[in-house]
Amino acid sequence: MEIKQLVKKYLDGRLAVISLLLGMILGFFGVFGHQLEEYGNIDFSSPFIYLTGVGVGILLTIPGYMILRALERLSIVSPTRGKWTPGAYFLWVAGGLYILWMPQLLGVYPGYFNFDAPFQWAMYEAGEITAHHPPLHTLFMGGVIQPVLQLTGSFNKGVFVFELLQLAVFACCFSYGVTWMYRKGLPKWLQWFAIAWFAFFPTVVINCFSVTKDNFFSAFLVVFLVMTLELLENPAEKLRRVSFVAAWVLFTFLTLIMRNNAIYVMVLFLPVLLIVLRRFWRRLLPALGGLVLLYVIYIGPFCSAFVVKGVPANEFLTVPTQQMMRVYYEEYDQLTEEERAMYPLLFEDQALNHYNPRISDAVKGHFRVEEFQKDKAGTISFWYHLGCRFPSTYVNSFLHNTYGFWYPKATLALDYYGWNGYFVCTSYWPAVDNSMIPIIDNYYDLFQESELVQGGSFGLTFFSPGTYFWIFLLVLAYMLWQKRRAQLLVLGFVLVLWLTFLLGPVALVRYVAFLFYLIPFYTAMILQVQGDGTDIKMRKE
């Protein structure tokens, strides 16, 4: 009887189930990821794989349970009230971040003009902007760089001016989140941690210094998520404030247009938000109507005026093209002559010769789109036919192409043909690296392709996107246990967004930079200020 009472007192059944589920997910992520990293394949016919996954999952359940328990015990904090007004505090944090970034930016001068930036610049310069990259971002980048280039004759100075404006935007976005912590009365140590995280954590900094749309997307996403959480916690007050509603609509719109896959998540999320806040539908519906109108104007008249071409069809075929090519490489001997003959019709030689399981750019980039357009049904039928014959190859293809997002020790691919590394810490032509503080430049170079961030290293584990997804899942499990509906809805948005990246061409750090940006806010979501019930349930006032 005493044992039963002790179990009842100290063992939370709901938490045990959630911890077991979390442990199993992470256990199979770990086992599958290790197989892909070490052997390049998962043998789904082997019972050992599943037994190992279950065993590792059970082992991870125990520390998971203990961590979640500890978070509950540490979650209640006393309110900390500052003397500054929120507006003054916002300016202080934004200005502080901006100042702390400046020496580092000079160290990597003119900033990182990398990844897709040269392609966007070429589009702008030629006046042939496509929807492959956010047109607003392309126009903004070109509209800043070009006049500075014409005025000074220096492309580097144009990039540097763009970086100064970009960092001002990011400083304001992050400052909004930290100011939210300040207004809630969360501990000062958390506010200082958030400032230090944004100012110095390497992955955050190198992303902020990169001239790509992904970083604008992640920064805008931070504001959108924080504002949405505010809205869910106190809808009556927030929806009465026109300035808040207008700002929420603006940042929802900016988040929406900075990545093409965000539209799919928003289409699912916004109706759910309306249902959850149905008591306030008369106030919320006009805001959603304004958002839809803004988006329609953007994709309609705005894009018609500036965009000459939509998103190429092959951008939507990352997964199937990569799967078909894996069959070609691994199951060639089992293919019939008719099946082999299909490959040159669908793929150019570059695709056939440069397959890499971690990145599909070479394959989808040299997929014969015109042949696909001529016979879509035939191509889809061929893809389906191969999948029926080689299902495990298809699954391995999908997992190998995405495991960098969910396995902490995954080797990451960076370029078109599979060059391994963590982040491109350099500029591409026509920008030229010209560091003014070489020691800082050398430091950030370590995060390009050094042993520090190579597959399997301890350093990569600390900076890996997979690690930060595991942290996200831990926080999600905590909110599920605590039944914190507002936080669950916001984190649910992040989870669905993350899932959309599994359909992309490669597991890149910059795609999921938001997982790094959100680290301070996880703690802010977990902590509950004494006497404040808004973190526990969404109040209906």
Euclidean distance between CA atoms 23 and 21, whole angstroms: 5
Please identify which residue in the block is written with the tokens 């509209």.
143
Q: Is residue 482 part of a domain?
A: yes
Q: Is residue 80 part of a domain?
A: no
Three-class SS of residue 200?
helix
pLDDT above 70 as % of the chain: 96
295 plus 256 within the same structural domain: yes
Tell me which amino acid residue 444 is: Y
For the cut 70, the answer to whether the pLDDT of residue 431 exceeds it is yes
**Token couple for 147:** 């006049």
Q: What is the mean pLDDT of residues 354-374?
A: 91
Could you tell me the residue range of the domain that residue 241 belongs to?
86-310+457-529
Q: Is residue 27 part of a domain?
A: yes
Split at pLDDT 50, 70, 90, the class of 41 is: very high
Q: Is the distance from CB of 162 to CB of 111 less than 8 angstroms?
A: yes
Radius of gyration of the chain (CA): 24
Of the three residues 74, 109, 135, the one that is the final residue of a domain is 74
Q: Is residue 430 part of a domain?
A: no
Measured from the Cβ of residue 405, the count of other Cβ atoms closer than 10 Å reads 26
For the cut 70, the answer to whether the pLDDT of residue 183 exceeds it is yes
263 plus 155 within the same structural domain: yes
Q: Annotate 20-37 with b (16+ C-beta within 10 A) or e (fewer).
A: bbbbbbbbbbbbbbbbbb
Mean pLDDT for the chain? 93
Contacts 24+ apart (CB under 8 A), 345-350: 345/371, 346/371, 346/372, 346/379, 346/382, 347/321
48 plus 10 within the same structural domain: yes
Query: Which DSSP helix (H) or strand (E) runs through 130?
Result: strand 129-130
Q: Is residue 447 part of a domain?
A: no
Q: Give me the sign of the Cα torsion angle 16, 18, 24, 29.
A: negative
125 plus 238 within the same structural domain: yes
Backbone angles phi, psi at 210, to 5 degrees: -90, 135
* Helix-then-strand count for the chain, H and E: 28, 4
Euclidean distance between CA atoms 340 and 326, whole angstroms: 13
58 plus 109 within the same structural domain: no
Return the higher-pLDDT residue of 74 and 8: 74
Q: What is the mean pLDDT of residues 260-264?
A: 91
Query: Which DSSP helix (H) or strand (E) runs through 525?
Result: helix 519-526
Euclidean distance between CA atoms 299 and 305, whole angstroms: 10
381 plus 293 within the same structural domain: no
The residues, ordered by sequence, that sit 6+ positions from 292 with a Cβ below 8 Å of its Cβ are: none
135 plus 270 within the same structural domain: yes
Q: Is residue 478 part of a domain?
A: yes
**Token couple for 253:** 């719109």
Q: Is residue 65 part of a domain?
A: yes
177 plus 235 within the same structural domain: yes
| Cis, peptide link before residue 110, omega less than 30° from 0 | yes
Q: Provide the number of structural domains found in the chain.
A: 3
The pTM for the full model equals 0.94
pLDDT digits (tens, 9 = 90+) for 141-173: 999 999 999 999 999 999 999 999 999 999 999
396 plus 332 within the same structural domain: yes
200 plus 57 within the same structural domain: no
Give the pLDDT of residue 467: 97
153 plus 44 within the same structural domain: no
For the cut 50, the answer to whether the pLDDT of residue 255 exceeds it is yes
Split at pLDDT 50, 70, 90, the class of 530 is: confident
Backbone angles phi, psi at 162, to 5 degrees: -60, -40
321 plus 252 within the same structural domain: no
pLDDT digits (tens, 9 = 90+) for 195-206: 999 999 999 999
Partnered with residue 170 across adjacent β-strands are none
The residues, ordered by sequence, that sit 6+ positions from 414 with a Cβ below 8 Å of its Cβ are: 420, 421, 422, 423, 424, 449, 508
Return the higher-pLDDT residue of 87 and 354: 87
Measured from the Cβ of residue 119, the count of other Cβ atoms closer than 10 Å reads 14
Measured CA to CA in angstroms, residue 328 lies from 8, 29, 325, 334, 336 at distances of 57, 26, 5, 9, 11
Give the pLDDT of residue 168: 98
Euclidean distance between CA atoms 477 and 71, whole angstroms: 11
Q: Is the distance from CB of 503 to CB of 204 less than 8 angstroms?
A: no
Q: Is residue 34 part of a domain?
A: yes
Three-class SS of residue 246?
helix
Euclidean distance between CA atoms 193 and 505, whole angstroms: 34
pLDDT digits (tens, 9 = 90+) for 57-79: 999 999 999 999 999 998 989 88
For the cut 60, the answer to whether the pLDDT of residue 496 exceeds it is yes
